[in-house]
Structure 1
């Protein structure tokens, strides 16, 4: 079972990383007179990546702090994380991870074949939507019951607004 899980994770990492292959294959040329190879969409996508990585890290830090406060008994055990980015999204870390990989994919598009880089974020979304999120939410519903059901009703799954 562990081998199957390991191989599945390796496959997901491989497929998710496809945009990097195409990004590094982008035919850039840099001369004194001219820099070509990237268009405005590439620049926009690449400029979003640091922000999405920062926000993903922020969500992870917020959750870690919350868990530490719970362990110290400063927050009741049954309380849910509903502050910071977690107030607007049940899975902000997953959302910003998907934004990051989608930006890598968009940034890597330079010719018709490089559109294949979109396979990475599509597969990542499918894994999040149909595997990771349902497993996590089923566990939380079992652990927290009606409190979690109410949280689900008032909080977006991914989108932070």
Structure 2
């Protein structure tokens, strides 16, 4: 397939998957499933574009393995949260405004399907890479992927452990990596997209791979990531989270200031 056909196929399958997820949330009133399907969808897009790409076998195998495993890990982590917890506060706030309005929720779910296609753009670049031999770019891409996926998994585990303790109710997590960044999971999630930039080195579409880290940063920093998460944290954790904001870097880890 050419890249445009691949992109259309990814979008079509994501739209169907999110439509099914929308029907489920209409019954369960838990919209967190949209994030689960997005994660599995992006991971699946990596496997699909690798299977249908026209590049050399090696970069396509790396893409399928790394992109697929990333999506699988994140999707399973989010699925565990959706099954075990009440609706995410971000979506609970939307439900207060929208109620169960089917069209509004369907629009939101289909927007997430569009985002699956958007985040598949770096995969198109890797799948078109004609470089058939191991090189420093591929090794660096694997190293970045391992470090970032491990970092995100550690941050997720630390937060889950903190939230599972009833004594921490109403408090901001400052355990482990969360002492140095208010969103270490988002930091490693963003950094992980540079792995595909490295895997795309030598591809005629290499420039397209930069859409991953650029778009992810914009979404995390200004749109659906940090702003929504911090607004919810301030509603539920109040002054403790405000102190945490004043002392701890937002995204890129660094040593915290003294709390005041």
TM bucket, shorter chain: 0.7 to 0.9
Extract structure 1 runs of 4+ deviating beyond 3 A.
none
Aligned-residue RMSD, C-alpha? 1.7
Contact kept? 1:46, 1:104, Cα under 8 Å: no
Give SS of 2:205's match.
Answer: helix
Q: In structure 2, what is the equivalent of residue 44 of structure 1?
A: 140
Q: SS in structure 1 opposite 2:253? A: coil
Once the two structures are TM-superposed, the CA of residue 122 in structure 1 deviates from its matched residue by 1.1
Match of 1:61 among 130, 140, 157: 157
Q: Assess if the C-alpha contact under 8 Å between 1:16 and 1:121 holds in 2.
A: no
Q: Distance in 2 between matches of 1:28 and 1:99?
A: 24
**Where do 1:6-155 residues align within 5 Å?**
6-29=109-132, 35=133, 39-70=135-166, 75-111=167-203, 113-131=205-223, 132-155=225-248
Provide structure 1 residue ranges, at least 5 long, that are not aligned to the other structure.
Answer: 30-34
Q: After superposition, give the CA deviation of every residue in 1:17-60 in whole Å (9 maximum; x if it has no partner).
A: 2212211221133xxxxx3xx64234212221011101101111
- How many angstroms apart in 2 are the aligned matches of 1:67 and 1:4? 31
- TM-score under structure 1 length normalisation: 0.84
3-state SS of paired residue (2:193)? helix
Distance in 2 between the 1:16 and 1:101 partners?
Answer: 10
Question: 2:246 and 2:115 mapped to 1: Cα distance?
Answer: 30
Distance (Å, rounded) in 2 between the aligned partners of 1:113 and 1:24: 9
From 108, 118, 136, the equivalent of 1:5 is 108
Q: Which has the higher contact order (CA 8 A, sep 6+)?
A: 1
2:95 counterpart residue number: none
User: TM-score, with normalisation over the residues of structure 2?
Assistant: 0.54
Equivalenced residues, count: 150
Structure 1 residue 135 displacement after superposition: 0.9
Task: Give, in whole Å, the separation in 2 of the partners of 1:107 and 1:158.
Answer: 25
